[in-house]
Structure formats: C-alpha cells, structure tokens
Amino acid sequence: MTTVREHAKQHTKLHAPVIAIDGPTASGKGTVAQQVAQRLGFHYLDSGALYRLLALASLRRQLAVQDVAALTLLARELHIVFRDGYVKLDGVKVSNEIRAEEIGNRASEIALHAPIRLALLARQRALRTLPGLVADGRDMGTVVFPDATLKVFLTASVEARAQRRYKQLIEKGFPASIEILSQDLAKRDARDIQRVSAPLRPAEDAKILDTSNLSVEQVVGKILEWFVALSVPVSHAHASA
C-alpha cells in the first residue's frame, strides 16, 4: 500500500503541489494545516500570521489602520522569519504576541485594503516550492493559489470556534471571555465576508468540511484522503497532456 508521502511525490515531478485550506477564524485550519504538512513532508504557510505580523509592526510604529500607503510600504519591507514553529519580526521572536486578540482584530481591519493584500501576495506565492505547500488562510484557494491541487474550506459554528479560541488564549496566558470572543468572531466573520478585496468564501471547486464536532485527527485524515484520491500517477498525467 502506498503512503500519503508517496502519493505526494507523484506530483513533485511535475510541479510543487498546493493544498489550500481556508476558513473563518478558529475553524481549526491552522492546526490542521500544520499536521497535514507534517504528514506529507510539505512546507507550511500560515497566511494569517503575515497579516498579524503586519498588524503588530504597524501598532509598534503607531500607524493607523486607515493609512493604506504606509501599511503597504511596511508590508513590502517587513523582515520576517518562519522557522521551527516560531516566528521572528525584525529579529525578535513574536510567536505569542501575534496571537493576542487585539492583534487579530487589527489584522482583520488591515486585510480589508486591496493594496496591502497585493503587497503580501508575492511573498505568499514565493513559498510554493518543492516538495509542496500546505497553505491556510481566507483566500488561499480563491486568490493566492487558484490552481491548488486540493482546496478545502473548513467551517464551524461560532460557539465551537469561541470555545477553541478561548482554550488557545488561556493556554498562552492571555485573558479571555467566551461571550466577548463570540461577539468578536461574529464581527470578524462579517468583515472578512463583506470585504471587497478577496472576501472569505469557498472556491467553487473547494471541498467543504464542518469541523464543529470533529477531532483534529479526523479532519487531517479526511484531507489526506481527499489528497490521495486526487493524486494522478505521473505516467497518466503525461499521457493525458
């Protein structure tokens, strides 16, 4: 029986495959995407972290979220390093700082602006390298990687997502309230869905999966199952070209 990594290697001889995992805040996409990438031996892109890093940097520089020109310039010049599970901004580890709710809400506001999204687009696409990439965000399958090998859109109820976010924040030492988190998630969903530039929505060919009552392992398993089912042997791919 072939393994998921062997199926993944079938793609690498043609081009670097991408699994795009989109969904609203706290739908589980980050944790799931990391585990899928690990199982396949692929690179991992947390696109949301880019916007959170920009939000943190802009806050430190006291830039207004409406100052699109300054934020776009900052987005192009950010010195960011993703390595071994941590994130560095300007040479300093900020993995925990960018997970604060204040930064998440600010990132959501910044992401409304098309010039800023465009400035970060090239940085995201540059991460598509062999042996492959698992990318999570809100527009991975619709805008950043429209030709992704597999597109997945994760959903979950606001209640389930608030519980997950609450647990994450408490574990990281941040104060949190289920009620406030539920309200913030609903507001952030509305902003992401209604924005003009790259709104949050499933790609037409995305597979939709409600994770409200599923474990991380169940979701990871389903995505790997879909990926293996889509894998086409190289000989067949050449034959149909």
* Beta strand ranges found along 90-190 (DSSP E): 92-93, 133-137, 150-155
Q: Is residue 4 part of a domain?
A: no
Q: Is residue 206 part of a domain?
A: yes
CA distances from 19 to 24, 29, 68, 132, 224 (A): 17, 12, 30, 8, 10
Question: What does the pLDDT read at residue 240?
Answer: 32
Binding-site positions read: 23-31
Contact 170, 51 (CB under 8 A): no
Question: What does the pLDDT read at residue 14?
Answer: 47
Contact 57, 74 (CB under 8 A): yes
- Domain span at 125: 16-222
Distance separating alpha carbons of residues 134 and 148, to the nearest angstrom: 10
Q: Is residue 240 part of a domain?
A: no
pLDDT averaged per 10 residues, the chain (length 241): 54 74 94 95 93 96 96 94 83 92 93 93 92 95 96 96 92 91 93 90 97 96 96 38 33
Q: How many domains, in total, are found in the chain?
A: 1
Binding-site positions for ATP read: 23-31
Q: Is residue 234 part of a domain?
A: no
Q: Is residue 228 part of a domain?
A: no
Closest C-alpha among 100, 99, 105 to residue 187: 105
Distance from first CA to last CA of the chain, Å, rounded?
27
Question: What does the pLDDT read at residue 86?
Answer: 83
Domain CATH for 37: 3.40.50.300
Q: Is residue 168 part of a domain?
A: yes
Distance separating alpha carbons of residues 64 and 106, to the nearest angstrom: 10
The β-bridge relationship of strands 86-89 and 80-83 is: antiparallel
Contact 227, 219 (CB under 8 A): no
